[in-house]
Amino acid sequence: MAYKTLAYRRDRRIARITFNRPKRLNAITAAMPGEIAAAVAEANADPKVHVIVLAGAGRAFCAGYDLVEYAEKKTPLIQTEMPWDPMQDYAIMKGFTEQFMSLFRSYKPTICKVQGYAVAGGSDIALCCDLVVMAEDARIGYPPARVWGCPTTAMWVYRLGAERAKRMLLTGDLVDGREAKAMGLATDAVPAARLDARVEALAARMAACRRTSS
């Protein structure tokens, strides 16, 4: 498949899915959710793949939905007529969420590498992975909770439990990698200079295990 928003390649037993919109901090476009699901399916169908590493090119993992596309441009997915139809919005976001959740449902284990930011919809994507490894100075959170309500996935509650998830989603706060690790949101947090090495070591260890596509 020819991808427009991400790059896919297999490196021995590791499938690498890398968001490739660095000038926009890998912000989510209408095409990205479907390409995530397609890349996960490609990795799952390849018997040589034992683990998937999800990353973002440039300064950030993913800065959420691209507001240039969604707020400033008229696209087929955006409502331009009033009154607002909540069911249309629900249908659109449910479709995106199902595609993000392909990471959670993947037959092959998934590791998310977070540098810079994983915010708003970017946090939805990151938390769908089995393991999240963050740079200590990276930031994760769901600021849209202050305006638009809860995330489209239940991964905050799944990972943190109700009380800690409420703390994050009733404030819209961001936390850095250190705090994310301390609260159990991230698997590990390391200095930014060591992030690549930590993810590679973890991926290599997991890739050494025998796996099938089920």
Residue 11 falls inside a structural domain: yes
Which pLDDT belongs to residue 79? 63
- Decide if 20 is inside a domain: yes
Task: Report which of 15, 25, 4 is spatially closest to residue 139, judged by C-alpha positions.
Answer: 25
Does residue 214 sit within a domain?
no
pLDDT the model gives residue 73: 65
Say what the pLDDT of residue 214 is.
44
pLDDT of residue 142: 93
Cβ contact 10:21 at 8 Å: no
Decide if 51 is inside a domain.
Answer: yes
Q: Tell me the residue length of the chain.
A: 214
Q: What is the CATH number of the domain that holds 65?
A: 3.90.226.10
**Considering its fold, how many domains does the chain have in total?**
1
Residue 1 belongs to a domain? no
Which backbone phi and psi does 212 adopt, to 5 degrees? -130, 170
- Does 152 reside within a domain? yes
Tens of each residue's pLDDT in the chain, 214 residues: 789 999 999 999 999 999 999 999 999 998 999 999 999 999 999 999 999 999 999 999 999 988 887 666 656 566 667 777 777 777 788 889 999 999 999 999 999 999 999 999 999 999 999 999 999 999 999 998 888 778 888 899 999 999 999 999 999 999 999 999 999 999 999 999 999 999 999 999 999 986 554 4
Q: What is the pLDDT of residue 75?
A: 64
Is 213 a member of any domain? no
- Looking at the domain assignment, is residue 59 inside a domain? yes
**Residue 51: domain span:** 6-207
Q: What is the pLDDT of residue 66?
A: 86
Question: Rounded CA gap, 70 and 207, in Å?
Answer: 38
3-state secondary structure 127-152: HCCCEEEEECCCEEECHHHHCCCCCC
